[in-house]
């Protein structure tokens, strides 16, 4: 929506740049989240690293 709004306002930015903004924002958020070790430990699944035995 930002792309359409800015183009409607007449902002002179390449449409390819505006199209890639959601993907760049996603990558930035993932990088920022992965830098916080405490956040990773708190939100890690409790069974990570444990073998799965069906039926037990």
What pLDDT, in 10s, does the model give residues 1-56?
A: 777 787 788 888 887 888 898 899 999 998 988 887 887 778 778 888 888 888 86
What is the structure's pLDDT at 23?
94
Backbone φ and ψ of 36, nearest 5°: -95, 105
C-alpha atoms less than 13 angstroms from C-alpha of 52 in its C-beta half-sphere: 4
What is the structure's pLDDT at 24?
94
pTM of the model: 0.55
């Amino acid at each position: 929506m930002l792309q359409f709004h800015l183009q409607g306002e007449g902002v002179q930015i390449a449409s390819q740049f505006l199209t890639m903004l959601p993907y760049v924002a996603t990558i930035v958020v993932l990088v920022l989240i992965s830098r916080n070790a405490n956040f990773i430990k708190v939100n890690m699944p409790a069974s990570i690293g444990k073998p799965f035995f069906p039926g037990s």
